[in-house]
C-alpha cells in the first residue's frame, strides 16, 4: 500500500512539473518574440494548450512566470558553485568561469534576456517586487562562493561578504547587458569580461606580508 501511494504521489508531482515546464517554455518563447508587455495570460494559456484557470494554479501573474524562469536558472548555479569553491584555479579564473557559466546557460534564451533587461530598465517600479524576489535565489550562491574563497585565503577577510556580493552583481549586470546587446559570437563581451574581472580581483586579493 505504501509503495502505491508513493508512486501515485510521484506521478502527480511529475505531471505538475511537466505542466509548469510547459507554461514556462511557452511563455518565454512568446516573451522573446513579442515582449513581456505585449503578451497576455490568455495568449500564454492558449499557446500552452491549457485553461487560463490551470495557468493561475501555477502562476499568479505573467511577471511571476518570468521570476520562476530566472530563479530556476539561478538554482542551477548552485552545483557549479560547489565545484568552483574547490577549483584549483586562481581568483580571476574562478570568477570568470562563474560568469561564463551563467552566460552559457542563458545563451539559448538570448533574445529573452534582451527583452527582460529592457523591461527591467524601462519599467523598474513595476518589476521591483519581482526583482527583489529574484535576489533570494541569486544571492545565496554568491555568498557561498565568496565565503569559500575567503576561507581559502584567496580574498581578504576584511571585506564583508554582503559588499562583495553587491559589487560583483553590479559588474555581472553590466556584462550581461553588454552580452545581450552584442549577440553571438560575443567576442567583445569576452574581452571586456576578462578586463573587468582582472580589475575587480586586483582589489580583492588577500594581502600577504
CATH 2.60.200.30 for the 62-209 domain, yes or no: no
Q: How far apart are CA 135 and CA 75, in angstroms?
A: 12
Q: What percent of the chain has pLDDT over 90?
A: 49
> Per residue in 68-107, pLDDT tens?
888 888 888 777 887 888 888 899 999 999 999 999 999 9
> Per residue in 161-186, pLDDT tens?
999 999 999 999 999 999 999 999 99
Residues 85 and 145 sit within 8 Å (Cβ to Cβ): yes
Q: How far apart are CA 157 and CA 109, in angstroms?
A: 37
Superfamily grouping for domain 1-59: Homeodomain-like (1.10.10.60)
Asked whether this chain's domains 1-59 and 62-209 adopt the same fold, the reply is no
Give the three cell numbers for residue 205. 586579493
Q: How far apart are CA 121 and CA 103, in angstroms?
A: 20
Domain ranges of the chain: 1-59, 62-209
pTM above threshold 0.85:
no
| Cross-strand partners of 155 | 205
**Using 50, 70 and 90 to split pLDDT, how confident is the model at 6?**
very low
Amino acid at each position: 500500500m505504501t509503495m502505491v501511494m508513493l508512486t501515485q504521489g510521484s506521478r502527480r508531482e511529475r505531471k505538475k512539473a511537466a505542466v509548469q515546464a510547459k507554461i514556462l517554455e511557452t511563455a518565454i518563447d512568446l516573451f522573446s518574440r513579442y515582449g513581456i508587455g505585449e503578451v497576455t495570460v490568455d495568449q500564454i494559456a492558449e499557446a500552452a494548450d491549457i485553461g487560463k484557470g490551470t495557468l493561475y494554479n501555477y502562476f499568479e501573474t505573467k511577471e511571476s512566470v518570468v521570476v520562476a524562469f530566472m530563479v530556476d536558472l539561478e538554482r542551477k548555479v548552485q552545483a557549479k558553485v560547489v565545484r568552483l569553491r574547490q577549483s584549483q584555479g586562481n581568483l580571476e579564473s574562478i570568477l570568470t568561469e562563474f560568469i561564463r557559466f551563467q552566460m552559457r546557460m542563458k545563451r539559448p534564451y538570448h533574445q529573452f534576456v534582451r527583452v527582460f533587461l529592457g523591461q527591467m530598465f524601462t519599467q523598474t517600479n513595476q518589476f521591483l517586487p519581482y526583482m527583489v524576489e529574484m535576489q533570494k535565489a541569486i544571492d545565496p550562491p554568491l555568498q557561498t562562493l565568496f565565503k569559500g574563497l575567503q576561507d581559502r585565503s584567496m580574498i581578504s577577510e576584511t571585506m564583508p561578504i554582503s559588499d562583495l556580493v553587491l559589487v560583483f552583481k553590479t559588474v555581472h549586470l553590466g556584462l550581461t547587458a553588454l552580452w545581450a546587446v552584442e549577440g553571438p559570437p560575443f567576442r567583445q563581451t569576452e574581452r571586456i569580461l576578462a578586463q573587468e574581472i582582472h580589475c575587480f580581483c586586483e582589489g580583492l586579493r588577500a594581502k600577504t606580508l
